[in-house]
Amino acid sequence: MAMQQLVAVILTYNEAHHIAACIASLRAWVDVVVVWDSGSTDDTQVRAAAAGALVVQRPFDHYAAQRQAALDAIDAAWILFVDADERATPALASEVRQAIDAPGEVVGYWAPRRNFIVGHEMRGGGFTPDYQLRLLRRDAARYIADRQVHEIVELAGPSAHLTHPLIHYNYQTWAQFHRKQRVYAAYEARILAARDIRPRPHNFIVQPIREFRRRFIALQGWRDGWQGVRMAFWLAWYYGLMPYVILLRLQPRAG
């Protein structure tokens, strides 16, 4: 692929339900859409190609490696990473084009997101404006390899914030939500274990309470009513309690 000004990259695995709509929100204003697929077993690849995207397959190791591989392989001045369950708006499209054409030293842009969870648009709890560093000048960005989930980007220059949001349809069902949070909890436990942290009795009480208060009060989860209560509770469970429960199970048993 010849050098492009702006390429949108969508990481996928079994995203047949989302992929066509995601590509449709991008095709009219980016130079190329690349679907960076991890070996989907549904119709993701077929639907992506039919929607006009270039499909690339790469075995999955972790998210940071996938994104870095795309940065390394795609010949473009700017890369816009979009998840399959996200949609770009015309207002965001115009803003992105203006940003990459503007003179200056900015090498990365944070995009806000409007998050919808099981049909409810979140107004608090850390879900708005939920800035994500997604628009990257390719020659000035690198993903940190040891941060495999909720990836971190190192930039060789300053960043700025966009105004117009991506629309993010996080979870369509609570079953989907719980499956993903169990994965994240296990990952957080592995991070604690790698830091040689051992669970203490107070962790099982203090950490969940602290996370609930952070989500519901400090991050204004109360603005979402009962949805805010539910989210604060479950995130306290999965991020405040479960990592320490899993960590306890990982500890070697005496005798």
In tens, the pLDDT along 100-120 reads: 998 889 999 999 999 999 999
Question: Does the residue 187 lie in any domain?
Answer: yes
Ramachandran class of 123: left when φ > 0, alpha when ψ lies in -120 to 50, beta otherwise: alpha
| Judgement on whether residues 134 and 70 belong to the same structural domain of the protein | yes
Q: How many CA atoms lie within 13 A of 65 on its CB side?
A: 8
| One-letter amino acid of 231 | M
pTM for this one? 0.87
Question: Does the residue 52 lie in any domain?
Answer: yes
Chosen domain end from 111, 135, 170: 170
Question: Does the residue 114 lie in any domain?
Answer: yes
Question: Does the residue 37 lie in any domain?
Answer: yes
| Judgement on whether residues 158 and 180 belong to the same structural domain of the protein | no
- In the structure encoding, which two tokens stand for residue 113, read together? 């997101």
Element at 31 (helix H, strand E): none
Question: Does the residue 255 lie in any domain?
Answer: no
Chosen domain end from 115, 149, 170: 170
Instruction: Please state the domain count of the chain.
Output: 2
| Judgement on whether residues 29 and 130 belong to the same structural domain of the protein | yes
| Judgement on whether residues 23 and 149 belong to the same structural domain of the protein | yes
In tens, the pLDDT along 112-162 reads: 999 999 999 999 999 999 999 999 999 999 998 776 566 789 999 999 999
Residue 189: domain span: 173-250
